[in-house]
Structure 1
Amino acid sequence: MIFDFYVSNMPFETTEEELQKLFEVVGKVKSVHLVSDRQTGLFKGSGFVKMVDVKVREVVETLDGALLGNRKISVSEALPQKPGGSNTGGGRERPGRGNRPDRRRK
């Protein structure tokens, strides 16, 4: 069975190979995906790891809080993606406003 894990608070210099090596301590890694900003292409410090035939609790207990570079990472079981959704956002951006709603009195 395949399990997905969400990893956050990683150093911005982290590579897929480094993350894979860390997770291989507890089992077989199927794939690693580092999340990057769509506009800038910069790594956002989080990612996903797919593992095969592992105990979710053991992976989380072993790796949550582990040091990767100079940071303690956070590891949890990834939430399933909503059916039909691609999690692409979709709100209308307002230039110069940081996409915040207008709260001025009219």
Structure 2
Amino acid sequence: MSIYVGNLSYEVVQENLAEIFAEFGTVKRVQLPTDRETGRLRGFGFVEMASDAEEDAAIEALNGAEWMGRDLTVNKARPREDRGSSRGGSFDRKGGSSRRY
């Protein structure tokens, strides 16, 4: 399992995030997704730790904590939902997509 970390600063790097979570145990992996077109960070990331107990301790301590000028959202990551193809989607009558991302 991994931890979802939301509301991250766009200035964060993997080493910063690993350092914060290392206070609660062994960090196995840090992933910071980027936008495919711009290469810019997407404002969230994932952290994998060595044990569930370490993950739980990190979530308890860091959820809602202020870091780099932002209040973090930290919780157990949920499995990625199958969104079908990356093109298309349904559109409402006003021309906007009714699909939520």
Q: Do structure 1's residue 40 and structure 2's residue 38 form an aligned pair?
A: yes
Within a 5 Å distance, the mapping from 1:49-60 to structure 2 comes to 49-55=47-53, 56-60=55-59
SS class of match (2:43): strand
Q: Which whole-Å CA distance do the structure 1 matches of 2:84 and 2:42 have between them?
A: 15
The equivalent of 2:72 in structure 1 is 73
Equivalent pair of 1:27/1:54 in contact (CA under 8 Å) = no
Which of 20, 26, 47 is 2:18 aligned to? 20
Give the direction of change, closer, same or farther, for the CA distance of 1:42–1:52 in structure 2 (3 Å limit).
Answer: same
The CA deviation at 1:91 is 3.0
Q: Do structure 1's residue 91 and structure 2's residue 81 form an aligned pair?
A: no
Number of aligned positions between the proteins: 93
Give the direction of change, closer, same or farther, for the CA distance of 1:40–1:66 in structure 2 (3 Å limit).
Answer: same
Structure 1-normalised TM-score? 0.75
Q: What amino acid maps onto 2:87 in structure 1?
A: G
Q: Which whole-Å CA distance do the structure 1 matches of 2:84 and 2:16 have between them?
A: 27
Q: Which whole-Å CA distance do the structure 2 matches of 1:88 and 1:35 have between them?
A: 20
Query: Which protein shows a greater Rg?
Result: 1
Task: Answer 1 or 2: which has greater helix percent.
Answer: 2
Give the direction of change, closer, same or farther, for the CA distance of 1:100–1:13 in structure 2 (3 Å limit).
Answer: farther
SS class of match (1:22): helix
Give the direction of change, closer, same or farther, for the CA distance of 1:53–1:102 in structure 2 (3 Å limit).
Answer: closer
- For structure 1, list consecutive stretches of 5 or more residues without a partner in the other structure: 93-98
The CA deviation at 1:58 is 2.0
Structure 2-normalised TM-score? 0.79
- For structure 2, list consecutive stretches of 5 or more residues without a partner in the other structure: 95-101
Greater CA drift, 73-82 or 32-41:
73-82
